[in-house]
Structure 1
Amino acid sequence: MASFEVSMMRYVNKHNLLKVGDKVLVGCSGGIDSMALLYFLNSKKGELGISVVAVHVNHMLRGKESHEDRLFTEHQAAQWGIECYSREIPIPKIFAKQGGNKQQLCRTERYAYFLEVMKYTSATKFATAHHADDQLETILMSAVRGSLQDGSFGMLASRSFGTGYLIRPQLAVGKEQIVSYAKQQNIPYREDSSNAEAAYTRNRLRQRVLPFLKAESREVSKHFVELAEDMQQDQQLLQELAREKVQQMIEMKEEEIILSAKSFRVEPRALQKRMVLLLLNYLYNPKQVPLTRQLVEQVQEMMQSSSGTVFLHLPQSYIAIRQYDVVIFRCQSLTQTSTLAPITIATDWTSFYNGRRYKVVPTDQLVHVDKAVNWYFQAPENASFCMRSRKSGDRIQLAGMKQPKKLTRLMIDEKIPMPMRESWPVITTDKNELLLVPGLRPSALVSQQKRDRDNWVLVEQFL
């Protein structure tokens, strides 16, 4: 096994993590991992042509112990001639007020401070002390939770952060190498008592699973780092292709995302999953809403057809609606949406509404229109037509049924969410005969095949 310093320098050069003139801000908890990283970078600053600054956060979760960690980090940085910035963040008070996930809250507040210091010091790189064992744990946690990462597999060696980059040079080495290096160099450090708590998933994996894996191979963490690098390179290519495809097929309209199910499903399955992740990332912060495999597969599955209407309820009151080929992602209001003012449908196109527009022409004036469905029907020559919201008492004559069906009953059967029922459009004649409930059902009065008696055609065009 190569020495700590050799492995670190090789990894830094391989991934171009540092360049001459970089100012590196090092996140230091006072633990062995971050103190080893701070010592290493400071000892190599002349060789690398960099300058080093330290930053510490006291989350105030462990009382006196947390305060002593801060004092220790500040003192040791000063001993090594390193400028150190630190702050106390009252996580218990913030958590009591906001609730949520305490670990995520700590990370959010901590990284906000790191960005602040990075900007103040004009640092170009922010270095964390994540090592090869952490990479192994991260990959195992994703597998255990069934979560999908956006275009990555495990932690990246480098990524954008503020106006610079976040780097993880210590992915080059495992915990044993860090401990050995700290011992050789007499590097002082603090022990975090919370690292031994079995309440956290990561700690349980570290205490119970990693020893079994390392018993099979002492190099297992290194192998997972190498696997992650290979996977990340493949993922990066697929992610770039998926992003190009999504940008070409979606239309952003106010707070809606609209696309064609057909344009989605013609893409390879390997791209479809990543395209769904990108779509969901338009709606959510993936750090706050876990993008599980089940959620992604549900969205992917609803795109595999262009028949009928499908609703998919998403986290945080979002909803995905597929009406025939048109798929709409939007936030679902918990209150009733406003009713639709009547829109006259004549020989000129209406405006687009919910991804569709309409016109009605005599059958002998019909011309071919792309992305459209033709609904033939019979009505008086002087008839008029409109699109409006449903009214109390509306009924629709469905094919194969002797009696008209209440529209409210149809919407219940089709699982239309309550807030959407009042504003759901219907297309009627001037005699209030329902011709079409867009995205839901046609009435028996219309047909996609022209019949002898039909003299009108309703043209429904999709975005």
Structure 2
Amino acid sequence: MEKFYTLIQKHQLFEKDSTVIVGVSGGPDSLALLHLLVKIKEKWNLKLVAAHVDHMFRGVQSEEEMLFVLDFCREHQITCEAKQIDVTAYATKHNLSSQVASRECRYDFFKEVLDKYESSSLALGHHGDDQIETILMRMVRGSTGKALAGIQLKRKFHNGYIIRPLLGYTKEHILTYCRDQQLMPRFDPSNEKTVYTRNRFRKYVLPFLKKENPLVHERFQYFSETLLEDETYLQVLTKEHMNTVLKRKETSAVEIDIDRFKSLPLPLQRRGIQLILNYLYGNIPTSLSSIHIESLLTLLSQDHPSGSLNYPGGLKVIKSYQNCLFTFEQDEVKEYCFDLEIPSVIILPNGYKITCELIKNDSIESIGNKSFLLNPKTLVGPLIVRTREQGDKIKLKGMNGRKKVKDIFIDEKVPLQSRYSWPIVEDGDGNILWLPGLKKSIFEAENGSVDEYVVLHYKEL
């Protein structure tokens, strides 16, 4: 397997004089990988550490596999870190499937070993057949972007990299190597159960592809590497353009300008959405697919000014006029009703405040929609600041009759998520006096008509 060493050097998987942690289950793939690395151990001055996890799924059988790995390492003078983990208990505690729980426990252990030996390289035994299965599974599931490239030869992990030197080889290559070297690996019977998706691809799809092209693993590997190169370039472009689209970026919420977003080429739009989802989720749920991205693109392209989508994990995407908000902040704004004393300051749940004070006529500055004047002699108290109610109407300045507050929100393009917390000021007779920042009623006093005013101000905190 001269190609094995050439691949390591070509892709700079690790350097000479390195400490390499090798994930070893005792199966043919990981055992062959460890054996191949042992062959260059002295020449490359490598320190090898085998890391084995007994998931305790199969009782005595899995424990025997752990003992086999320990014996193999002793025979070849390799340091071995082995750990038994009750994955079933972990899965139950965290409400996870056995496969997801196994992966989390295993990779957490790998991180511990990497730290203990101050290593930046974790070598795993994934091979060319695994690559084919992974790419096909992700295509069928509707994955997008880098995920479609399948298994990477080298990717960042913890404080270093995961490396996979066997991706150029098929399972048959590895089994032949094990027979030639008399390695006697162990076989996990669960790999034959068709209850698992991967095993069904392995049993029913892979043989057909190999029959069509015995070197199909090389074609899939080429597809993976070139797709990853293209995707990396497009990701750089997307990040550059998304900086002009973002309006707000917080821990649990991102807001974008829809018009600017729609001006981007469609490939960058898709990747822009993916960047936002990666940022908000951290780890993308497996239930999220290309269908969700296409649904959002459809929503943003429609003429209707508002709409929303519910994504997995409690993420909500809300379109409102020219803004699109991605948010986990699902808590409904509670209704509020405050008495507004003269003078006083009220802190509002929407991040604003309303101040109320008595001011002499000669001290009043220009008045816009964020301020409101009242004549203290004709004011009917108490002043109330509250959230909107069904059927709210206001008598607007310069307009006959009354207008629905709901229609004003629509006309002023107030985002849907802001309407429920928007303050409304009314007097003791129940007249709506003012929609702060938006509209005033006919009940506002004329500037200069009296010596003293009650002045209300609407300001951001």
Task: State the TM-score bracket (shorter-chain normalisation).
Answer: 0.7 to 0.9
How many residues align? The count is 409
Contact 1:58–1:87 (Cα < 8 Å) also in 2? yes
Cα displacement (A) at 1:330:
1.5
Which deviates more from structure 2 when the two are superposed, residues 237-246 or residues 100-109? 237-246
Deviations 1:227-281 (A, max 9, x none): 1101000001111222233344242246321221112111111111111011111
Q: Which runs of 5+ in 2 are unaligned?
A: 341-347, 353-365, 395-400, 442-461
1:308 lines up with 2:305 in the alignment: yes
Where does residue 394 of structure 1 map in the other structure? 391
Over aligned residues, Cα RMSD in angstroms? Answer: 4.2
Where does residue 295 of structure 2 map in the other structure? 298
Cα displacement (A) at 1:405:
6.3
1:243–1:31 Cα change, 3 Å:
same
Q: Which runs of 5+ in 1 are unaligned?
A: 344-350, 356-364, 368-373, 446-463
CA distance in 2, matches of 1:91, 1:263: 47
Contact 1:150–1:277 (Cα < 8 Å) also in 2? no
CA distance in 2, matches of 1:174, 1:387: 75
AA aligned opposite 2:21: L
Where does residue 77 of structure 2 map in the other structure? 81
CA distance in 1, matches of 2:32, 2:241: 44
Cα displacement (A) at 1:404:
6.6
Contact 2:388–2:424 (Cα < 8 Å) also in 1? no
CA distance in 1, matches of 2:293, 2:268: 12
Where does residue 152 of structure 2 map in the other structure? 156
1:340–1:139 Cα change, 3 Å:
farther
Where does residue 28 of structure 1 map in the other structure? 24
TM-score (norm 1): 0.76
Contact 2:333–2:421 (Cα < 8 Å) also in 1? no
- Counterpart of 1:108 (choices 104, 109, 118) is 104
Where does residue 7 of structure 2 map in the other structure? 11
Cα displacement (A) at 1:203:
0.3
Q: Percent identity?
A: 30
CA distance in 2, matches of 1:436, 1:173: 69
Where does residue 119 of structure 1 map in the other structure? 115
TM-score (norm 2): 0.77
Where does residue 278 of structure 1 map in the other structure? 275
CA distance in 1, matches of 2:225, 2:218: 11
CA distance in 1, matches of 2:309, 2:190: 40
Larger-Rg structure: 2
Where does residue 143 of structure 2 map in the other structure? 147
1:102-251 matched pairs, under 5 angstroms = 102-150=98-146, 153-248=149-244, 249-251=246-248
Cα displacement (A) at 1:327:
1.9
1:11–1:336 Cα change, 3 Å:
same
1:224-373 matched pairs, under 5 angstroms = 224-248=220-244, 249-253=246-250, 255-304=252-301, 308-334=305-331, 336-337=333-334, 339=336
Cα displacement (A) at 1:13:
1.8
1:195–1:151 Cα change, 3 Å:
closer
What is the SS of the residue equivalent to 2:33? helix
Contact 1:340–1:425 (Cα < 8 Å) also in 2? no
AA aligned opposite 2:217: S
Which deviates more from structure 2 when the two are superposed, residues 238-247 or residues 302-311? 302-311
AA aligned opposite 1:252: K
What is the SS of the residue equivalent to 2:162? strand
CA distance in 1, matches of 2:300, 2:118: 47
1:340–1:8 Cα change, 3 Å:
farther
